[in-house]
Structure 1
Amino acid sequence: MAWAGKLLRVNLTTGTCKSEPLNMTWAKDYLGSRGLATKYFTEEVDAKVDPLSVENKIIWATGPLTGTMASTGGRYTVVTKGPLTGAIACSNSGGYWGAELKFAGWDMVIFEGKSPKPVYLFVENDNAQLLDADYIWGKTVWDTEPAIKTKHQDPLIRVSSIGRSGENGVLYSAIVNDLHRAAGRSGVGAVMGSKNLKAIAVRGTKGVGNVKNPKAFMAAAKEAKKVLAGNAVTGQGLPAYGTQVLMNVINEVGALPTRNHRDVQFEGAKDISAEAMATPRATDGKAHLVTNQACFGCTIACGRISKIDETHFTVQNRPQYWGANGGLEYEAAWALGAANGVKDLEALQFANLICNEDGIDPITFGATVGAVMELYEMGVLTKEQIGIEAPFGSAEALCHLAEITARSEGFGKEMGLGSKRLTEKYGHPDLSMSVKGQEFPAYDGRVIQGIGLGYATSNRGACHLRGYTIASEVLGIPIKTEPTDTDGKPELLKAFQDATAAFDAAGICIFTSFAWTLNDVAPQVQAACGDEFTVENLTLIGERIWNMEKDFNLRAGFTRKDDALPKRLMTEAAKTGPAKGVVSGLDKMLPIYYQVRGWDEEGRIKPETRKRLGL
């Protein structure tokens, strides 16, 4: 079977590292990664725990397909209780780190307690030890990773680490691996920092040698790769343009949240789009985009590598930012750009580099900038408080705020609270475009009704990756549904949410779901793990994971009132575009969603649903 069969338990308080056999009964019920890690977490941690306390735990986990030849089999998940939301936090990353942990012979690492001093975990196959991190504490991710490789004299070590924002408790700080891949949302980096844990460095040379039926697995993986290659999104759009292919598409649909969701279309969208990234600049004749890049085992290669204009005001006399680096994804380009009315592509790239360098979620950061700019234009915040004039559209303000947030200096400390706490502090909580304290991604929940319901019901706070109904509502995958319709959206969303949980648990990238259904995933999981993992069983596993996460949130104190959208989306209609005049239909959809889920009218899991799912 494709699990390594063991986990590493690290007690940071006592400094011990112990191997434990993986609970294979749980593995059969929750598969791996997001599912299995959440099972361990919810069994071991009180839902009422303070996310930044010693009692909280944090888990890195792979899936059974992680490290195999399954396309995109490089994913890993970080599970904890999130400081931004107080809800279950589960953040997913690609790159190469997840596969390396599997190659070292581990399915997951559980951290508990708090180290009395800064440390990092070094794992080399079966050997694991906590080492002094004084020499890297206070350093950025970009300085931490090469410093660890140099210390151990091994350039093939893979590093998952936090920057200064995680150390300083920025509530939406990320965990970064391979310099620009990140477990980006919900503040998992802040939990890591609260434990004085700087990094996990892994070197594995074992490979994945325990696939149940290697011949059948190779055949299933090969067929699944053909499906990806032949699909318009995974075989053409994402390799050519990355996720940024969506910028102009979503703007034309009239669903691009602009200036803190006051508008739904951005007049500067074309200037920050995938097409703009690929067009030679007037200043030097070179395109912003250098090439695409793939994570471990990926045949899609949606990642962007970009090179900033060396004459831009942000990087003059700062050569450390001149090289080719991780480029803009759609969500980051939106959050740093349209959300704030900024159409300066180079400024967006610079702010994105700062987020990568110091481990900050660009979605929450950019959305918090949007709230600050609105407060500034209202006269609630001043230049003296912020440190710069900050109207919508100011590239200078965006970049200034990125730098002071990364360093937690001055107003940057307030930025580190996220938009919910910041707007509450200044008396305008309605200006936070968030659910459960986590900010919206790059789709307007009025114009695209299914994703609005998805934001409201997501277990980790507002999120598009927990049920990407955009695939159906905009792209027509697997069937086309009308974005502004509310009918059928609760059923559609549940199907997406459950399937997504199964994809995550397997250890593969959710982008494969543009082409794959569980009919493509099941043969791979069956060949790797066992015949019992049919489409029906994977669907049930996905539903079980979703309800397990919901159950944790209920025990943490969340109620129906938390499955809500901001007043702006409920009362202020879209001003332009095909959906002009539309507001969210959440009030109509939510009761039906609860029924479809097998929950009561208050959003609590019914006893018969618990029994059916084995919770």
Structure 2
Amino acid sequence: MSWAGKILRVNLTTGECKSEPLNMTWAKQYLGSRGLASKYLVSEVDPKVDPLSPDNKIIWATGPLTGTMASTGGRYTVVTKGPLTGAIACSNSGGYWGAELKMAGWDMVIFEGKSPKPVYLSIEDDKAELRDAAHLWGKSVWETEEIIKKQHQDPLTRISSIGLAGENQVLFAAVVNDLHRAAGRSGVGAVMGSKNLKAIAVRGTKGVGNIANPEEFMKVTFEKKKVLADNAVTGQGLPTYGTQVLMNVINEVGALPTRNHRDSQFEGAKDISAEAMATPRKSDGKPQLVTNQACFGCTIACGRISKIDQTHFSVENKPQYWGASGGLEYEAAWALGAANGVNDLEALQYANLICNEQGMDPISFGATVGAVMELYEMGVLKKEQIGVEAPFGSAKALCELADMTAKGVGFGKDIGQGSKRLCAKYGHPELSMSVKGQEFPAYDARGIQGMGLTYATSNRGACHLRSYTVASEILGIPVKTDPLVADGKPELVKAFQDATAVFDSAGICIFTSFAWGLADVQPQVAAACGEEFSLEYLNEVGERIWNMERDFNNRAGFTAKDDTLPPRLLNEGAKTGPAKDLTSKLPEMLPKYYEVRGWDANGQLKPETRTRLGL
């Protein structure tokens, strides 16, 4: 069995850290990571709890393939009730931290209560203790990592922490590990900050030795790595260009949301694309992109390491930002760029560095700035309120607002509440491009119809990583579907949602799904965990996880009315591109989706669905 078989429970109120056996019945029903941690959360937390109160819990969890030789087996998730949405929050990260926790002999860490003072958790194999973090409070993620590593005198210690955004309860604060890998969405960092928990430092030396069938596991993981290497996306596109390979592609198909979704194509897309990142600058003759980088056990290596232009206005007299650091991913480049009409690549990199340094989701931050810029252009917000002139296209405003939001000063406090609360405060709730309070990622729901249904029904608010139908609708993976039609999308979205729940719960990266289907994951899980994990059973596991999350949200007070999109996408046709004049066909797709899911017309699980899935 590839689970470590034990979890660490930390009571922050009393300071007690204790080991307990993993519930193996649940492990077999929910696999690990996202699924298993969510099962613990929904079993232990009142769905109506205030996310920032001591009664909420927050869980770091690995999957059965985390820390193994399965490609991309470095993932971990952070699960809690999210403050941005009030829904279940599960945020996924790569890097090395997840594998380190597993190698220390733990499947997950559950935090409950609230510490009376700032603390961090130190884990060294079986030894776990809370330590004083007064000297870390007020420090950035980067400083926190450096100080803890020096303190522990071990450069191989892995750290998962919050920066100022989490401390200040920015509602889209992230949890960051390895300097620039993040459990980025839904405000998991704000929950961490609300508990006075600054970081978790882990050193594991045990390895992962309890694979059910080691010989078969070695054979099958080797075969599946070859599948990734031979695939055009995972073997060539992502290693060469990273996720930014999508910028020009999505712009061309007319689905790149621009200026707070007023437009669906950005005339400046080429200036902020993967190709632009790799092109030498006029100022110093060097490209922004330095190299690519891989997370633990990853054979894809889509991560970007970039170096900002030292002559750029954003970093004048700020040498701390001149070195090579985490570079732009597609979602961040879109949110900081096209969403605001900003085509200054160096300004995007600066704002991205601030998000990494202080632990902030660049998608929600950038999309919220888009709403601010629209309110500014309408005359609703003035320079005196914001502190800076903020028209669409202003790179200066983007950089200044990133600083203000991360530090929680001035108008940054309003931005830190997310676009739903900000737009409501200033009288225009319709300008928040969000679902359940979480901002959209980088795909226009009019130009890619399946994504509209994906956003509306996502259990953690608007999200692309819960059902990436872009793979099918744009890239033709595993089959090509027409992005402009509603037919067949409810079935497609359900299939993607269930499969993604399995990938996440196994502890592997969703990017493998460009090359792998569940039929590729199944033999790896079976060899690691035991023969009972058939393909049919894994499909059921994915469906069970999705319905469990939905049920938690329903009990938290969400109804079918929350499965919707902003009026702009339902009523205003796209202005240009293949989807010109089209609106989202969500009203047509949603009833069919409920039917396919086995839910009633109110979006609640039918009794027979509950029984079939054992919920």
What is the TM-score with the length of structure 2 in the denominator?
1.00
Q: Does the residue aligned with 2:388 lie in a helix, a strand or coil?
A: coil
Letter in 1 for 2:134: D
Task: Provide the secondary structure at the position in 1 that maps to 2:445.
Answer: coil
Deviations 1:331-382 (A, max 9, x none): 0000000000000000000000000000000000000000000000000000
Cα deviation for residue 254 of structure 1 reads 0.3
Partner amino acid for 1:146? E
Deviations along 1:539-583, one digit per CA (max 9) or x if unpaired, are 100000000000000000000000000000000100000110100
Residue 147 of structure 1, CA deviation = 0.3
CA-CA distance at 1:276 after TM superposition: 0.2
Q: Residue 472 of structure 1 corresponds to which residue in structure 2?
A: 472
- Structure 1 CA distance, aligned partners of 2:608 and 2:560? 20
Tell me how far apart the structure 2 counterparts of residues 429 and 478 of structure 1 sit (CA, whole Å).
38
Q: How far apart, CA to CA, are the structure 1 residues paired with 2:415 and 2:444?
A: 23
Per the TM alignment, residue 192 of structure 1 is displaced from its structure 2 partner at its CA by 0.2
CA drift of 1:447 comes to 1.1
**SS of equivalent to 1:123:** strand
In structure 1, the partner of 2:424 is 424
Q: CA deviation at 1:443?
A: 0.1
| Inter-partner Cα distance in structure 1 for 2:445 and 2:34 | 26
- Matches of 1:574 and 1:154, distance apart in 2: 54
1:167 aligned residue: 167
CA drift of 1:61 comes to 0.1
Cα-to-partner distance string for 1:78-101 (whole Å, 9 max, x where unaligned): 000000000000000000000000
For residue 207 of structure 1, report the CA deviation from its aligned partner.
0.2
- State how 1:132-171 maps to structure 2 within 5 Å: 132-171=132-171
How do 1:234-273 and structure 2 match up within 5 A? 234-273=234-273
Paired position in structure 2 for 1:501: 501
Match of 1:215 in 2: 215
- Deviation per CA, 1:209-236: give whole Å up to 9, x if none: 0001110000010000000000000000
Structure 2 stretches of 5 or more lacking a match?
Answer: none
RMSD: 0.3
- State how many pairs are aligned: 615
The reply to whether residue 554 of structure 1 matches residue 554 of structure 2 is yes
Q: Which residue of 1 aligns with 2:485?
A: 485
Q: Distance in 1 between matches of 2:446 and 2:452?
A: 7
Q: Distance in 1 between matches of 2:606 and 2:578?
A: 39
Aligned twin of 2:586: 586
Deviation at 1:534, TM superposition (A): 1.0
Aligned to 1:86: 86
- Correspondence for 2:446: 446
Aligned residue type for 1:288: Q
**Equivalent in the alignment of 2:7:** 7
Q: Distance in 2 between matches of 1:543 and 1:340?
A: 37
CA apart distance, 1:135 = 0.6
Which residue of structure 2 aligns with residue 308 of structure 1? 308
Aligned equivalents of 2:107 and 2:15: distance in 1?
Answer: 21
2:123 corresponds in structure 1 to 123
Residues 1:60 and 2:22 aligned together: no
Q: Establish whether residue 342 from structure 1 lines up as the match of residue 346 from structure 2.
A: no
Matched residue SS, 1:446 = coil
Could you say which residue in structure 2 is the equivalent of 1:101?
101
Match of 1:400 in 2: 400
Which residue matches 1:199?
A: 199
Identity across matched positions, percent = 80
Shift of 1:145: 0.5
Task: Give the counterpart letter for 1:47 in structure 2.
Answer: P
Alignment match, 1:374:
374
Matches of 2:288 and 2:197 in 1, distance apart? 35
Determine helix, strand or coil for the equivalent of 1:14: coil
| Map of 1:543 onto structure 2 | 543
Structure 1 residue 191, shift from structure 2 partner = 0.2
Q: Provide the rounded CA distance (Å) in 2 between the counterparts of 1:480 and 1:240.
A: 24
Per-residue CA distance 1:38-60 (angstroms, 9 max, x = gap): 00000000000000001000000
Instruction: Provide the C-alpha distance between the structure 1 equivalents of 2:534 and 2:343, rounded to a whole number of angstroms.
Output: 47
Equivalent AA in structure 2 for residue 168 of structure 1: N
Q: Which residue of 2 aligns with 1:573?
A: 573
Q: Letter of the 2:251 partner, please give it.
A: N
- Cα deviation per residue 1:268-306 (whole Å; 9 max; x = unaligned)? 000000000000001110011000000000000000000
3-state DSSP of counterpart to 2:59 = strand
In structure 2, what is the Cα distance between the partners aligned to 1:184 and 1:238?
20
1:137 counterpart letter in structure 2: W
TM-score, normalized by length of structure 1?
A: 1.00
CA distance in 2, matches of 1:533, 1:470: 28
Taking the aligned partners of 2:490 and 2:343, their CA distance within structure 1 comes to: 35
* One-letter code aligned to 1:316: E
Per the TM alignment, residue 446 of structure 1 is displaced from its structure 2 partner at its CA by 1.1
Distance (Å, rounded) in 2 between the aligned partners of 1:324 and 1:82: 32
Whole-Å separation in 2 of the counterparts to 1:197 and 1:356? 18
Aligned to 1:388: 388
Question: 2:176 and 2:451 mapped to 1: Cα distance?
Answer: 27
SS of the aligned residue for 1:130 comes to strand
Matched to 1:531, the amino acid is: E
Structure 1 residue 316: deviation in Å?
A: 1.1
For 2:146 and 2:209, the matched residues in 1 are separated by: 30
Q: What secondary structure, in the 3-state scheme, does the structure 1 residue paired with 2:130 have?
A: strand
In structure 2, the residue matched to 1:296 is: 296
* 1:310-334 CA distance string (max 9 Å, x none): 0000011111000000000000000
